[in-house]
Structure 1
Amino acid sequence: MNDIAAPTESESAIRTIHTDLPVNATFHVWLKAKKPDVAGAVSFSNANGKFGEVSTSNLEEYSFRIYQVFGGGRVDIAYDTMTTAVSVIYWFTASDVLETGITVVHTKPDNAPPDLPDSYHFRPPFGWMNDPNGFGRFEGHPHLFYQHYSHGLRWNTMHWGHAISSDYLRWRHLPIFLFPSEDLTTRPDKRGGAYSGSTIPLVEGTGIRVFFTEQVQDRVPEQQIQLTATSPDLIMAGQAEVILGHRPDGQGLTPDFRDPYVVRGPDGLWKMLLGSQSDSGGVILLYETQDPTAASGWTYVGKLWVETRYKTTAIECPCLLPLDGPANARSTRWVLTYGLMHSEDPATGRKNLTMADVGWFDGKKFVKEFGQELDFGTDNYAFQAFLDGDSIVGIGWLANWADATPEIDFPTSMTLPRRLHFSNGALLTPPIGAAESLRHRILDRTRLAAGDRVDLSTGAVELLFELNKPGLPFDLEFDHPDVRLGVVCDETGLWIRHEDGRDGASPRYVSEGARPYRLRIFVDYGSIEVFADRGRYVGTKRIASFKPVRAAHLKTLEGAVAHATIWSLKQ
């Protein structure tokens, strides 16, 4: 049990947090001094009195401290609010943290997560989150790492947060996994940090190897370089080492050089994809190594892909995986996904598109067969996937840098995890099968199909309806207090209506020419995800407001709907 005793005006400024601990608990504490001549301090006490303390003299940014409590029982954590600011305190036991997760006992109000009952999307336990990193299955469980800043809901010095799951939907939060250099953590000045990357299993022994970009603004000659670290216990990364300290020479690249994605190629060698930019457009760079551990020996192979559409600057978060067969088979198609930074589709006004190209990869070159947008709603950004057995599972940041900036508070989530597979000449990205386990109870099986308004008792719902003929027009309206929201099929295709009253016309989130017959729509606090024809057309849109959708109303031709069901959802 955890509780906080807050001081009144007549009491001292000491704030005390009470918590009950098992033996051998580890505390992670972030604290900051408030006065230049007095250290900020957090003390630990039990029935026998004070037995420990952590402190800092840093006035600018919260300092990270670790404290081990070997005995169990009730512990009081105290600090003077006049001299000390505390951002986050959590504890865990290293012996079973992968099974039990962390216990958060304090977070300051302005970096706490939103209180959203029944919400089923992944959100961090505190602070800012963006790109998924290192998504994979390790030691039998899915692990999700992500870009993270603990001390507010605005982007700042990047760390890696971490969570573990059994089904990709229900997550246990784990300790902060990867920290930037000590110099970068001393001031909240947005100079850089541990940026996006990927993970692979250690070739020898248990654990993982991590690859990530270190950014240091104004560093000469390279602002962005590539580092690697290992974690035998999957709890925290060890000391990082530089593996690529500079961009390849003579390629006409901008300083953009980031987001290493590592995968085994068809020749059995480890390959690394990196995003960059040149005079000719966005670029994906390809590296490889003969080192079976992938720890060293990375050499530049060439430009795997150059993208000139949509006024793209740098390419971000490239990902490459075998799609419809084993990696070493010449007939196997591969899927290449990547984000187009600063891109804009002039026809629709959508920005920062994410592409998915299907073709063949021989270890040196990628030959495109066809391509499509990964998501016509564009808020499935920084998508990262991996091969889980013989199927691809991926997840994205449910947001977009078109409306996410470092200057605004921006609590976000990850998308529903999706599978990627090739069928009848198309790339399909349906939600993972386990998404059906979110169905809590049926809200409706007749009224939506009949054209009646259906009131929703919760902001977390799934709607499934099937048309009697592909492409029949419909207009699914959602009653939302802040946004005009809906899903429409008309002569132009399938699109998400999202009008939030901001200046100027809303972008048109459309899959042009789509003629769907089966729609599966997930609504949550702050988002809508549309999966049509089992993932052939997919659109994801963040909603700035966390207010729940109140009702749904489907307008279409008489007799057009074969059947329709609405479920309330719950983790």
Structure 2
Amino acid sequence: MNDRTPAETDTIRTLAVDLPVNATFHIWLKATEQDGMGSVSFSNARGRFGEVSSANAEEYGLRLYQVFGGGPVEVSYDTATTAVSVIYWFTAADVLETGITVVHTSKNNAAPDLPGSYHFRPPFGWMNDPNGFGRFDGRPHLFYQHYSHGLRWNTMHWGHAVSSDYLRWRHLPIFLFPSEDLTVRPDKRGGAFSGTTIPLVDGPGIRVFFTEQVADRQPEQQVQLTATSSDLITAGQAEVILPSRPTGQGLTLDFRDPYVFRGPDGLWKMLLGSQSDDGGVILLYETQDPTAAAGWTYVGKLLVEERYRTTAIECPCLLPLDGPATSPSTRWVLIYGLMHSRDEATGRQNLTMADVGWFDGRSFSKELGQELDFGTDNYAFQAFLDGDRVVGIGWLANWADAHPDIDFPTAMTLPRAMHLSDGKLLTPPIGAAESLRARILDRTRLSAGETVMFDSGAVEILFDLAEPGTAFELALDHPDAEIAVFRDQHGLGIRYERPGQPPSPHYVAHGANPRRVRIFLDYGSIEVFADRGRWTGTKRIDGFEPIRSARMKAAAGAVAQATVWALKP
């Protein structure tokens, strides 16, 4: 019997779900008024059988509820007293196979509706750095910096997803949570920041390493923690393993983003990013503990970056490229982001570097170096050794135009391989990217200089030039920006200009003279891979309006052949 008045009933929100047995709900709710109480109730044909509540009116609080019986269930709350950010459910027994089912988000945190988009995006909320990227229990797992309740950076959690091919992902429950005192209000004081994940060496599961930040904590704002998970779904209690920076090194308060890996001597190593009087630094730690759970000691500064004025090095990673880690002849690649750096010649900011050389377990000797991405929107790149191949992924954005004060739904880049060829570092898309090709749109018109129309925003373009370094311009029609990929006397570049906005930086790989160019378009992004990833450029496009068509401008015979595919995940 319903004894509510019509006015009261108008504020009731009810969500109908059909559940299997033993479903677990994750619900984030808060009270709409101070000194009030927010609540969400559960009912079925037999009536109301459960409720979760929160008295916090500042920030959404997580509540868990287990529904043991299956069948139709109604989840209800009164919008006059209760605000709800996210509701999803899953069954713990098979969530790795089935993922979560999202039944509610709000207008403030909903993911964009982009049918056919193939880049990884979170199911709700804000996302930045990839974390803990690796293969565990036979499948690739991706963790990422995440805030559930809005499209702006705030208290950091770790989101989580699993895949079988690095391209098609199942969303999993939020994996890592900040300390309780950081989650009671959305004040951006810190949270569970970036890190890495390794398999447990003494049983099934994973060990996670991450930075905890608390902005007003003294004397250290950033410390390093570790936690374990035996089920790959939830992390256990985190413990501090590095409570302070190394002394006497002239470091700023920056001390973050642990990357843990096996060194050539068989010991676990850890890289951390920081800043010193001499420039950005990468710190090296190691431990004799075979489980990597404790005993971490400071070895020294692995790298000091003096070329660019960076405020801190972020997200360093180091891994073998062309042989086993134990071989002295194996080259290693050291990747790191330069926070707030600026290339004065081009105006690009927040560069990511990739240095190739030798690592003996305690020092790195550089042989060659290059930028990881001339477009710079492949930031916080994290890679790992998947068998005998290197696979990495980055945040498809950077802090030059993403900041905590704007709504900014973003994506991850296409996953990329890394290998050496003729003394050059190549970062092509992984081979599985070809499985995205749904149908051919064109094989003749683009190379002839005609306009090729797209029926969605998800497209791949592949073309060969008659001679390496031939000049061309591929004009891409977008309603809100002038976009083109080109090769001119300076090199290979991406043009991105928005009417009424200040001029964009010059996204150019100077001296690049490719013969084959492969371009991936999606809603909100463009990725360019030239000569199997010898030169790579990634650019985020504001908004989600699709690129509508392409037209090649080049001398007669300059383009030997071109193919355009419509893509579908």
TM above 0.5, yes or no, is yes
Provide the residue aligned with 1:535 in structure 2: 533
Report how many residues are paired: 565
Q: Aligned partners of 1:392 and 1:197: how far apart in 2?
A: 18
Match of 2:255?
Answer: 257
Distance in 2, Cα, partners of 1:549 & 1:455? 9
SS across alignment from 1:142: strand
Aligned Cα root-mean-square deviation (Å): 1.0
C-alpha distance in 2 between matches for 1:280 and 1:12: 63
SS at match of 1:109: coil
Paired position in structure 2 for 1:563: 561
What is residue 60 of structure 1 aligned with on the other side?
Answer: 58
Shift of 1:8: 8.5
The match for 1:370 is 368
Structure 2: gaps (5+ residues): none
> Hey, what's the Cα distance between the residues in 1 that align with 2:50 and 2:343?
58
Give the structure 1 partner of residue 111 of structure 2: 113
Give, in angstroms, the shift of residue 301 of structure 1. 0.1
Letter in structure 2 aligned against 1:98: L
Residue 269 of structure 1: CA displacement?
A: 0.1
d(CA) in 1 for partners of 2:249, 2:400: 28
The answer to whether structure 1 residue 514 and structure 2 residue 512 are counterparts is yes
CA-CA distance at 1:501 after TM superposition: 2.9
Give, in angstroms, the shift of residue 296 of structure 1.
0.1
CA distance in 2, matches of 1:549, 1:471: 25
Equivalent in 338, 360, 366 of residue 336 of structure 2: 338
State the distance in 2 between where 1:487 and 1:35 align: 52
Distance (whole Å) between structure 2 residues aligned to residue 393 and residue 156 of structure 1: 29
The residue number in structure 2 matching 1:4 is: none
Q: In the aligned structure 1, how far is the partner of 2:74 from the partner of 2:503?
A: 54
Q: Do structure 1's residue 41 and structure 2's residue 39 form an aligned pair?
A: yes
Amino acid at match of 2:443: R
1:92-131 alignment to 2 at 5 Å? 92-131=90-129
The reply on whether 1:427 has 2:411 as its aligned counterpart is: no
Q: Percent identity?
A: 76
SS of equivalent residue, structure 2 residue 432? helix
Contact 2:36 2:57 in 1 (8 A): no
Task: Specify the SS of the correspondent of 2:457.
Answer: coil
> Which residue pairs with 1:448 in the alignment?
446
User: How far is 1:34 from its partner?
Assistant: 1.0
User: Which range moved further: 497-506 or 7-16?
Assistant: 7-16
Write the letter of the residue equivalent to 2:393: I
**TM alignment of 1:462-477, pairs within 5 A:** 462-477=460-475
Distance 2:564 2:281 in 1: 43
- Output the CA distance in 2 between the equivalents of 1:139 and 1:505: 47
Shift of 1:267: 0.1
The Cα shift of 1:423 comes to 0.6
* CA positional deviation for 1:117: 1.4
The Cα of 1:108 is off from its aligned counterpart by 0.6
1:359 aligns to what SS in structure 2?
A: strand
1:548 and 1:143 map into 2 onto residues whose CA distance is: 29
- Alpha-carbon contact 2:96-2:162 (below 8 Å) kept: yes
Structure 1: runs of 5+ lacking an equivalent: 1-6
Alignment partner of 1:439 out of 431, 437, 440: 437
Structure 1 residues 351 and 16, CA, compared in 2 at 3 Å: closer, same or farther? Answer: same
The Cα offsets for residues 464-492 of structure 1, whole Å up to 9 and x where unpaired, read as 00011100000000000001001010110
Aligned ranges for residues 498-509 of structure 1 at < 5 Å? 498-509=496-507
TM-score (norm 1): 0.98
Moved over 4 A (4+): 7-10
What is the aligned partner in structure 2 of residue 349 from structure 1? 347
Partner of 1:204: 202
Q: 1:201 to 1:8 in 2, by over 3 A?
A: farther
How far apart, CA to CA, are the structure 2 residues paired with 1:490 and 1:17?
A: 56
Aligned to 1:312: 310
- Output the CA distance in 2 between the equivalents of 1:113 and 1:501: 27
**Matching residue within 479, 482, 489 for 1:481:** 479
Letter in 1 for 2:257: D
Q: For residue 36 of structure 1, report the CA deviation from its aligned partner.
A: 2.5
Q: Cα deviations across residues 492-529 of structure 1 (Å, max 9, x unaligned)?
A: 00000000235432100000000011000000000000
Q: Give the distance between the partners of 2:423 and 2:463, measured in 1 at CA.
A: 24
- 1:77 maps to 75
Deviations 1:207-238 (A, max 9, x none): 10000000000200000000000000000111
| CA distance in structure 1 between the partners assigned to 2:34 and 2:194 by the alignment | 35
CA distance in 2, matches of 1:570, 1:523: 12
Q: Quick one: which of 231, 238, 256 aligns to 2:229?
A: 231
Distance 2:484 2:523 in 1: 15
Could you tell which deviates more after superposition, 105-114 or 360-369?
105-114
Report the equivalent of 1:133: 131
Is the CA contact (8 Å cut-off) linking 2:437 and 2:567 kept in structure 1? yes
1:13 matched to 2:20: no
Residue type at the aligned position of 1:322: P
Measured after TM superposition, the shift of residue 9 of structure 1 is 6.2
How far apart in 1 are the matches of 2:115 and 2:239?
A: 42
* TM-score (normalised: structure 2): 0.98
DSSP-derived class of the 1:310 partner: coil
Which whole-Å CA distance do the structure 2 matches of 1:9 and 1:36 have between them?
22
State whether structure 2 residue 405 is matched by structure 1 residue 412: no
Aligned to 1:183, the other structure's residue is in SS state: helix
Partner AA of 1:23 in structure 2 = V
Letter aligned with residue 56 of structure 2: N
Q: Which amino acid aligns with 1:170?
A: R
CA distance in 2, matches of 1:150, 1:502: 33
Conservation of the 8 A alpha-carbon contact between 2:155 and 2:187: yes
2:30 match: 32
